[in-house]
Amino acid sequence: MTMKGKILFAGLMIMTCACTPKLGTSTANRLVKAMTVEEKVRTVVGTFTDVATPPPVAPGVHNRADYPGSGENTAVSRNQVPGAAGDGYAVPRLGIPAIVYADGPAGLRIDPRREGDENTYFCTAFPTGTLLASAWDPAIVEEVGAAIGDEVRRYGVDVLLAPGMNLQRNPLTGRNFEYYSEDPLVAGITAASYIKGVQSQGVGTSIKHFAANNQELYRNGIDEKISNRALRELYLRGFELAIKESAPWTVMSSYNKINGVYASENEWLLNDVLREEWGYEGFVMSDWFGADDPVAQMKAGNDLLMPGTPNQIDELMEAVETGVLPMEVLDRNVKRILEVMAQTPRGKGLSYANDPDLEAHAVISRRIATEGMVLLRNNGALPLKAGRKVALFGNYAYDTQPGGSGSGYVNRAYKVTLDKGLEAAGFTLVPELADAYRSHIAFEKSQMPEEYFWVVPTASEMVVTDAAIRSAAAQTPLAVVTLGRMAGEGGDRTATEGDYFLDKQEWQLLERVRRSFKEVVVVLNTGAPVELTGVDKLSDAILLAWLPGQEAGHAITDILSGAVNPSGKLPVSLAVKYEDIPSSKNFGVSEGEINVVRYQEDLMVGYRYFTTAGVRTLYPFGFGLSYTSFEYADFHAEGADTLSVTVRNSGAVPGREVVQIYVEKPALSQDRPVRELCAFAKTPVLQPGESVEVKIPLRRPSIDPLAQWTDDGWAVASGTYRFHAASSAEDIKLSLTLER
Ligand code: BGC
């Protein structure tokens, strides 16, 4: 280039720098102004191009394996992070990179191996949602979030598609393991802590599925008929708390309809409530291939369509040209996306080294798994003395499941099964029994497809002969029976034997083991409850270990051996029988209707119903045993907004207690629950004899737990409030009354 040319070129560069805005240095408004219509349209549509049309809305599909596009409906981000769920659109001339979105709640889900690359890209499988909520400990959940966020950042992902926090309306919901609780306060606080943890690492979250995605059956078309009151007090309340307290960068709208309108096309939900009322400033993305009218989604404020299809681009281009989609709407949505993009690692031009400390995270995963396991029954059989011999029964003892299937699956490097966890801690197993189970499982699995995220094959339960039981019982008086259930995205569980109910073989095993062994410990490896009525009579101890992540076997052993004193509490009620659960009458689809489910129980979900109707539960919401005991004293108010109670460890070993505050409010409408959780706090580890004064604020920065939804909006009734300091929804220790 001649000198003249060089000067001209430099001049042009300066002009370009001055005129062409860039992400990161220019405002979103300037960027939007500089974009072509096509660039804008492509920015609001993900870049998945493998299919021309989304999988059909399939109202009749409910079997996980039959789910349309099973295995195909997850976009593969071919160029950036293999196995991530989707990519955004890049406009290089404006410095806009393609943002990477990846699942999910129990840990990052990306492909662990890459073609032509010897490195591995495993992620840590942390305990699933129900276990995290069972810890009732925001600090611990934040720690998990931070560890997951660290992997997200180091593996080059910008936004994690988590947490999942729909209410556990019914125990059969297939994705309950990803979700937290039947109570919105527990769900909201858990989600807020998780989001704070992940986002502390400089990456984003997508709180999902907004809203009322409480079943998998017909999830792409189901119309959920829910009263405003139940929506506000239950199904939106946890989202409200989490969104206001932790500001997730993105929100994922749900597949279902709410009162006739798809969540992603619902202006009331996404604009009036989320943005106008709650002040949300991030952007909303659809769930993968959710709903069917891109223009309606754009108008409603569903800013990004994921994973994105060519048809959506065509429809939106045409809608802009014909004026059906006003440019202001498109600009508004693009702007929201760009504002978040600017905060992401890619938006900031940061590099990443694929170097998470998986060993350190495994330690966190194990420790936190022990914080959320719930000891349901113990007649003194637990903890087990070190070095004992165990007759270990049940497939799930030798093939323990760390998590569920579907988008919440994590490609971990390994999983520790319970047999290995016990052996590592110095227990010995009855060898013939262990050998038989191990070869049975290995043989059956050799006949099955390999595990991948959408389908996790499990062997059929091994039939144990009477002779095998007798021979094991001759070697040890101690039996541990592990029962498990898998669940996953795309299908609900069923109220049938072998799923929600134990089947004949499981009952027979328990009965025969009970007859032959002096001590029987039952371990449950499941993401959501099974009906346990009768199991208490056949066991000395029951540990609900949930789906505890990749360190499962070590963590369960930590509790069984007493290395860790259990402090988890149920975030759901365990009913005596399935029909006792009010939503059992209207779960999946309401009788005589097509694609409609009516939430007729209204506010009477979980303990709100059981305590109001006086129906006994098997294990109440908030319940969980410890190896020590606690005494409550001096429950009093400090001013109008803080309660204080003193908790003393009155037993022989160190332990933690979850103090729950339930409130009886003066009712502003009919058919209200008698008692609602309004606050909780977990004590630090208390040494035997040690006391702590627990101060519990009643107000939160986001919501007022004393408020009720009325025809005129939120209201706090004046009158007499009765507060209970309790150890579960049914175990009130002390009460006091306050006037408001
Ligand atoms: C799930 C979402 C998930 C997305 C991407 C959908 O099928 O419902 O929870 O984030 O896929 O994998």
Peptide bond into 307 cis (omega under 30): yes
Percent of the chain with pLDDT over 70: 93
DSSP letter for each residue of 564-588: S------SS-EESSGGGSGGGGGSS
Per-residue model confidence (pLDDT) at position 48: 80
Residue ID of nearest Cα to ligand 1 atom 7: 288
CATH architecture of 35-341: Alpha-Beta Barrel (3.20)
Residues of the chain with pLDDT under 70: 1-18, 49-79
**Contact between 298 and 44 (Cβ < 8 Å):** yes
Pick the catalytic residue from 103, 150, 158, 287: 287
Q: The domain 628-739 belongs to what CATH superfamily?
A: Immunoglobulins (2.60.40.10)
Query: What does the DSSP 8-state code read for residue 647?
Result: E
- The predicted-structure confidence for 626-677, as pLDDT tens digits, reads as follows 999 999 999 999 998 999 999 999 999 999 999 999 999 999 999 999 999 9
Atom of ligand 1 nearest to the CA of 86: 5
* pTM of the full structure: 0.95
Return the CATH class of domain 368-572.
Answer: alpha beta
Ligand 1 geometric centre to CA of 681 (Å): 32
Ligand 1 geometric centre to CA of 407 (Å): 5
Residue ID of nearest Cα to ligand 1 atom 6: 288
Residue 284: which H helix or E strand, with range? strand 283-285
Give catalytic status of residue 399 as yes or no: no
* Cβ neighbourhood burial of 536 (10 Å; 0-12, 13-18, 19+): middle
| Residue 288 near ligand 1, beta carbon < 6 Å | yes
Radius of gyration in angstroms for the set of CA atoms belonging to the chain, rounded to a whole number = 27
Ligand 1 geometric centre to CA of 288 (Å): 6
DSSP letter for each residue of 210-279: ETT----TTTTT-EEE--HHHIIIIITHHHHHHHHHH--SEEEEPSSEETTEEGGG-HIIIIIIIIIIT-
DSSP lists the bridge partners of residue 25 as none
Atom of ligand 1 nearest to the CA of 164: 9
**Which three-class secondary structure state does DSSP give residue 654?**
coil
Q: How far apart are CA 149 and CA 197, in angstroms?
A: 7
Q: For 118-236, where are the alpha helices, taking DSSP H only?
A: 129-134, 138-154, 184-199, 228-230
Q: How far apart are CA 253 and CA 299, in angstroms?
A: 14
Largest CA distance in the chain: 98
Q: And the tokens for 365?
A: 């995963």
Query: What does the DSSP 8-state code read for residue 439?
Result: H
Which residue has 């519990």 as its token pair?
A: 696
Peptide bond into 440 cis (omega under 30): no
| Residue 216 near ligand 1, beta carbon < 6 Å | no
Per-residue model confidence (pLDDT) at position 170: 98
**Contact between 147 and 162 (Cβ < 8 Å):** no
Per-residue model confidence (pLDDT) at position 662: 98
